[in-house]
């Protein structure tokens, strides 16, 4: 029986994956880094601790990982303040599910970005728990952020349904033992083998319903 629904944030509630890409690639080019087509794919699902270390070690930026993380967050917040890219129907879907389940967020975004998005969207009060992967040992596809979210909720992971868009996110929720509803990211579609792990696949977040999530 599903007691709680755990939302990913980027690519599910907010259409932001391309913004992350633009911000990090722009920073790399500005500061003489070695950016390649593989760079963004490698960082998908990483926690801020992991991707900032990647920017330093692999892309070759001179600043410390913490300085890089702080600068990316600053630029992301500036983009969100100019226009928050919520998916059509996302807010309504969150409120619809909140009427039937306890809600949480398990996101690779930094804490400041999670809090900022939910506050700006007027959705902060709908979520009982929010967890950033910077608060756990490993980012997605490791299950750490989902397991920590279930722990804070006091719900067994098998009693949770995860709403995910990416291959690494789906793999993380699957490794945690959660039911998975996939909303495939149109710009960065998940690999077929990852999508096969989902229990349900929908075309958009607006299609989410308590009946579909509960299975």
Q: How far is CA 122 from CA 95, 97, 189, in A?
A: 10, 15, 28
Q: What is the DSSP string of 94-159?
A: HHHHHTTSEEEEEESS-HHHHHHHHHHHT-GGG-SEEEEGGGSSS-TTSSHHHHHHHHHHT--GGG
The span from the CA of 196 to the CA of 16, in Å, is: 24
The span from the CA of 71 to the CA of 65, in Å, is: 10
The CATH number that domain 17-82 falls under is 1.10.150.240
- Residue 55, SS3 per DSSP: helix
The tokens of 109 are what?
């975004």
Q: Are 107 and 8 in contact (CB under 8 A)?
A: yes
pLDDT at 83: 92
pLDDT tens sequence for the chain (215 residues): 999 999 999 999 999 989 999 999 999 999 999 999 899 888 887 888 999 999 999 999 999 999 999 999 999 999 999 899 999 999 999 999 999 999 999 999 999 999 999 999 999 999 999 999 999 999 999 999 999 999 999 999 999 999 999 999 999 999 999 999 999 988 889 999 999 999 999 999 999 999 999 99
- What is the pTM (predicted TM-score) of this model? 0.92
Same fold, 4-15+85-214 and 17-82: no
Q: Are 35 and 28 in contact (CB under 8 A)?
A: yes
If we measure between CA atoms, which residue out of 64, 89, 71, 94 comes closest to residue 213? Answer: 94
Q: Are strands 200-201 and 179-182 parallel, antiparallel or unpaired?
A: parallel
The residues with which 130 forms a beta bridge, in sequence order, are 105
The CATH number that domain 4-15+85-214 falls under is 3.40.50.1000
Where are the domains positioned within the chain?
4-15+85-214, 17-82
């Amino acid at each position: 029986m599903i007691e709680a629904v755990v939302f990913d944030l980027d690519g599910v509630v907010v259409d932001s994956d391309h913004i992350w890409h633009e911000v990090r690639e722009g920073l790399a080019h500005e500061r003489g880094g070695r950016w390649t087509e593989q760079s963004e794919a490698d960082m998908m699902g990483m926690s801020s601790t992991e991707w900032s270390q990647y920017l330093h070690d692999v892309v070759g930026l001179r600043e410390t990982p913490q300085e890089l993380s702080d600068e990316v967050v600053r630029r992301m917040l500036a983009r969100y303040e100019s226009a928050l890219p919520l998916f059509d129907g996302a807010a309504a879907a969150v409120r619809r599910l909140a009427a039937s389940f306890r809600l949480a967020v398990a996101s690779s975004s930094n804490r400041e970005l999670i809090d900022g998005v939910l506050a700006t969207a007027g959705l902060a009060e709908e979520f009982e728990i929010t967890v950033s992967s910077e608060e756990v040992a490993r980012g997605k596809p490791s299950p750490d952020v989902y397991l920590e979210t279930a722990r804070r909720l006091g719900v067994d992971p098998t009693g949770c349904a995860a709403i995910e868009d990416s291959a690494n996110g789906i793999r993380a929720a699957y490794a945690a033992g959660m039911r998975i509803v996939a909303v495939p990211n149109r710009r960065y579609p998940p690999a077929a083998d990852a999508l096969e792990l989902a229990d349900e696949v929908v075309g958009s977040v607006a299609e989410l319903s308590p009946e579909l999530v509960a299975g």
